A and B are shown apart, each in its own frame.
Chain A
Amino acid sequence: MKLRIALEGLGACAGCEIAILDLHEEILSLLEDLEVDYAPILMDKKILNENVDVLLLSGSVRNKHDAEEAVRLSEKAKITIAFGSCASFGGIPGLANLYATRELLERAYLTTESTDNKEGILPSEEVPPIEQVIKPLKEWVEIDYKIPGCPPQPKMIKEIFQMLLNRKPVTLSKKTVCDECDLKREEKKIKRILRWGEGEPDGSRCLLEQGYFCAGPATRAGCEAKCIAALTPCRGCMGPPENVTDQGARMVSAIASVAAVDEKDRVDPEELATMFKDVVGTLCRFSLPSSIISRKVLERKSK
């Protein structure tokens, strides 16, 4: 019997589904053993009524409809998988947690440069109510496995399908991106955090040690450090490695560990902190909703 799978994107960009198509011809050999029952982003079928073996849910839960769909579909599946970084830890949409819901709606419907909404109407009819905060999918439905990546790498997807076909538990790499990276690490002394595009990176040396912000030390391996091989620093899309809850906190540690602290050659801590234009958005880019402090909080006014 073929393994029957369903795919659904919640608050998603469809990139995760396209990543499956990026298997190209190899998808044909996979289809000998598995059958895609439902995938509205890829196929013309509007509703799933029958039960399936594996459900791959991508995207974030941004509104009531997403939440209800997640629950309804996961009840039809034996195995539910959070597919991609949004479902696994909140992903890019999770950065909306830095703003109040009112601010988000006002920006989206009133103040963007291309908005033409003179009456200032916020949609209220026939649209599902927005959820106040983005939470990782495991807060909504029971998740058996998560497959991180923005999007997950096709090679990894293939390996995971193979694990599912062999009825084996899905396992991810326990290493970090640095373990997969070929660049040479030597002395650990940085005085400045460079923004991407500043200067010319040396193609043989560790990017973090050259001053470029690279999230490799705080990011799970599995992507074969592809971005870094193209001399683009890691942004951390694979999320925190095994046994790390807070990717941002781990990255804070890593940066402090490469900062220059010699007597003659010392970077000022306050200056180091101001070298980041957007600390949370840079250090927790993909994982804010599953971080220890997962959203903006409000201090009560002190007397």
Chain B
Amino acid sequence: MPEKFEPYIFGFLCNWCGYAGADLAGTSRIQYPPNLRAIRLMCSGRVDPAFILTALKRGADGVLVVGCHPGDCHYINGNLRTERRVALLKKMLSNLGLDDRRVRLEWISASEGEKFAVVVREFVEEMRALGPNPLEGNMNET
């Protein structure tokens, strides 16, 4: 039997909500799987669709984008822009043959440490069931 498949998840977390939520999960010692590699950005609006495509191309099994709840964005509407970007990008990905569940957008506030852990747990399980990313990239290179 081959080794159990461990999905590689890339996370883009905004500084004000998503990352603070992850921080709260950490300081509250809430357990969640270690498959997520988090990158902090100032705003989820900074997530260029090309970042997500590049992560997938290089072999990430899933990409998680976390921003503030609508109305809470530190930069007024950066998260709403990202919501539309991700919706269009998902359509593009499914046209290109990828399962659009590989990209997930979540709103997590700084006080939702528990939600952060739940989302990561769910997402890792979902990607484990989905199987490895069919693109040839390898996360261990570069």
A299 touching B98 in the complex, CB below 8 Å, given contacts A267-B84, A269-B87 = yes
* 8 A Cβ contacts from B44-64 to A: 48-50, 53-54, 56-57
Task: Among B50, B77, B84, B98, find the residue whose CB has the most chain A CB atoms closer than 10 A.
Answer: B84
Contact across chains for A248 and B48 when beta carbons are under 8 A apart: no
Which B residues are in CB contact (< 8 Å) with A2?
A: none
Contact across chains for B95 and A98 when beta carbons are under 8 A apart: yes
Confirm or deny: B109 has a beta carbon within 8 angstroms of a beta carbon on chain A: no
The residue of chain A having its C-beta at the shortest distance from the C-beta of B98 within the complex is: A297
Contact across chains for B53 and A249 when beta carbons are under 8 A apart: yes
* 8 A Cβ contacts from A281-303 to B: 283, 291-293, 295-300, 302-303
Contact across chains for A292 and B97 when beta carbons are under 8 A apart: no
Chain B interface category by residue count: 20 to 34
Please, how many residues of chain A have a CB less than 8 angstroms from a CB on the other chain? 37
Say how far B50's CB is from chain A's closest CB, in angstroms.
4
Contact across chains for A250 and B50 when beta carbons are under 8 A apart: yes
Q: Is the interface of A mostly helix, strand, loop or mixed?
A: mixed
Which B residues are in CB contact (< 8 Å) with A270?
A: 87
Contact across chains for B50 and A269 when beta carbons are under 8 A apart: no
The residue of chain B having its C-beta at the shortest distance from the C-beta of A254 within the complex is: B85
Interface stretch, picked from B6-14, B113-121, B131-139, is: B131-139
A interface vs B, CB < 8 Å?
98, 244-246, 248-250, 252-253, 255-257, 259, 261, 266-267, 269-270, 272-274, 276, 278-280, 283, 291-293, 295-300, 302-303
What are 29 A-B pairs with beta-carbon distances under 8 A? A244-B50, A246-B50, A248-B49, A249-B53, A249-B89, A252-B85, A252-B92, A256-B82, A259-B81, A261-B77, A261-B80, A269-B83, A269-B84, A269-B87, A273-B88, A278-B95, A279-B91, A280-B95, A292-B50, A293-B53, A293-B96, A296-B97, A297-B97, A299-B131, A299-B134, A302-B129, A302-B130, A302-B131, A303-B131
